[in-house]
Structure 1
Amino acid sequence: MRFVPTLLAAACGLALSACGGSSSSSTPAATEQLTGFSECRQFFPGELPRLTALRERMPRDLCYDAFAILHSGRSKTPVFVVERLSREQLLDADDEVRTNRFFADARLPSAERALLEDYAGSGYDRGHMAPAGDMPTAQAMAQSFSLANMVPQAPANNRGSWAGIERATRDYAMRASGPVYVFTGPFHDTRTPKTIGPGRVWVPTHLFKLVYDPQSNRAWAHWIENTDEARAGTPIGYGELVQRTGIEFLPGLRPRD
């Protein structure tokens, strides 16, 4: 497993409500460019994302075979996960067997990583951000079960509405004329997030999945509450996602909604 443990010099982290605001601008205030990801820049369509200054979230960049993670040691979940999906990768993923071997990622410092016992008895699923169904090899499949790639997710959401969003994203990537880039992550709209387990893993209030197709220069995002009752709605535009999360995922690009 490839892993880049460098603490990012740029300030970043999980977006709280104060980062979103109601401004009509699609660029969040006081953002800083990420650094790192030197071994997995292929998962990004251009410049690395810019994030509002949240240095206390303890960000680290992690590289895996089929995805990359900006991880928060404060929340013990991803800030975002990014993939480069292609028809060829998804065809390779078709015959991979789901392992279900979840593991605490020992390559993160012990104080910054989620543990299996954090999720045990919590009532929440270990919800993949980079889906197991996207993984093209046995090794990539195994890596996707790292708890660094998980968030506490409402069970019916994970297995129902969210699974539908994942399938729709794969269906689009299969039809696209070239690779598409997908950013997935959690969002918290409170400064006092709900937590689970002795490690106090943060439970997101919402989840997002941004799809960017460079061939058509289009981008759209799925946004859903992290509840069992939530249903997938009409995707939101890229600019609205930037406002809500405080993350400029595609700096230097001007995607159409």
Structure 2
Amino acid sequence: MKLVGQAVLVILVNSVAVGLGEVVTNFSQTCSLFFSNPNGVVTPPDVFPGPQYRQICQKQANQNVYEFATLYDSVNRIPVFSAYEYVGHKPCTRKDVWYFEPQLDDQNKGPSMAPESTVSKAMRGNNQSLGSDYEKSGYDRGHLYPVFHTNSQSCADSTFTLTNAAPQQPSFNRGEWKKMENDLVKFLNENCLPNQAYVVTGVVPSTSPPVFVPSGRVNVPTHFWNAYCCLDNNLRPMFSGGYLSTNDKQKGQSFNTASALEQVLSNLYPSPFHVFGGKC
């Protein structure tokens, strides 16, 4: 499967109304707080056009607070990216209880982040991955918004949704990628906080040829990437950077600016891609 068309913000067809839940028509109207706002202008990453790409303002079923945002690819059954504001890390209990997004399969369901049993077997997993896709697959459920970057128990728990995970090689997830996540926490703590730090983590789906987990339902990404943007108290960009790696044991590449990462991502995706709108 190839991504098609120019990357622009669009109102996706077949999305449910904002009032019914968290699968929304426009990030900026519902959960803009997770995207960088250099000089006061909210700049979400580009959203690929088409009904397969679903914008999700993530929150737990028993909470009324949004925790982060995800662009989800309902055909490949993996997220394109998850975006969040990094405000520091606090230790929490890792529960490892995974949920999914009922509204992706049944627009009449809600609220978000519920057990798979919320949706009937006939509809369950039609537009998203299930826990069974990962069981004995040889791949980890690789968090895009990692537990280690959260600041509360509620936020940590909310990252355990399959709409925030993609198949990741275990050696990569537990090695180079984990090191990157730890290094980024240290870097942002020392160089950005208490200013504003925004982070976007994404994947590039395999296409030529596409690779899937053994169930044949979930695309295995070729690359995982991460970008950050730091703003001062007047919302002026201070610095940005990023990281990109293939989904294997190879060492990844770091970037001193988000724009440098965007240039590489624009070659990996079939159309130009901007993480921070080219403004950070």
Q: If the length of structure 2 is used for normalisation, what is the TM-score?
A: 0.72
Paired-residue identity, %? 24
Structure 2 CA distance for aligned equivalents of residues 169 and 139 of structure 1? 22
Q: Distance in 1 between matches of 2:252 and 2:6?
A: 31
Aligned partner of 1:107 in structure 2 is 103
Deviation at 1:231, TM superposition (A): 1.7
What's the TM-score once normalised by structure 1's chain length? 0.78
Q: Number of matched residues?
A: 224
Structure 1: distance between partners of 2:72 and 2:50: 12
Q: Distance in 2 between matches of 1:104 and 1:162?
A: 23
Aligned to 2:260: 240
- Where 1:33 maps in the other structure, the secondary structure is coil
Bigger drift between 190-199 and 161-170 goes to 190-199
Please name the residue that 1:60 is paired with: 55
CA gap 1:240/1:189 in 2 versus in 1, 3 angstroms: farther
Q: CA deviation at 1:146?
A: 0.6
> CA–CA distance in 2 between the matches of 1:232 and 1:108?
32
Q: Please, which of 178, 199, 222 is the counterpart of residue 182 of structure 1?
A: 199
Structure 2 equivalent of residue 10 of structure 1: none
Tell me how large the CA RMSD over aligned residues is. 2.4
**Structure 1: runs of 5+ lacking an equivalent:** 1-13, 20-28
Q: Which residue of the partner structure matches residue 97 of structure 1?
A: 93
The alpha-carbon deviation at position 59 of structure 1 amounts to: 2.5
The reply on whether 1:194 has 2:211 as its aligned counterpart is yes
Once the two structures are superposed, the pairs formed by residues 72-151 of structure 1 within 5 Å of their partners are: 72-87=73-88, 90=89, 93-94=90-91, 96-109=92-105, 110=124, 111-151=126-166
Q: State the AA in 1 paired with 2:74.
A: G
Aligned to 1:250: 276
1:55 is paired with a residue whose SS is coil
Select the structure of larger CA radius of gyration: 2
Mapped to 1, the partners of 2:156 and 2:2 lie a distance apart of: 28
CA distance 1:15–1:99, change in 2 (3 Å)? farther
Give, in whole Å, the separation in 2 of the partners of 1:45 and 1:15.
Answer: 28
What is the CA deviation profile of residues 131-155 of structure 1, one whole-angstrom value per residue up to 9, with x for unaligned ones? 0112222222221111110000000
Displacement of 1:99: 0.7
Q: Which runs of 5+ in 2 are unaligned?
A: 12-25, 60-65, 106-123, 267-271
- Alignment check: 8 A CA contact 1:132 1:144 kept: yes
Flag as ranges the 4+ runs of structure 1 deviating above 4 A: none
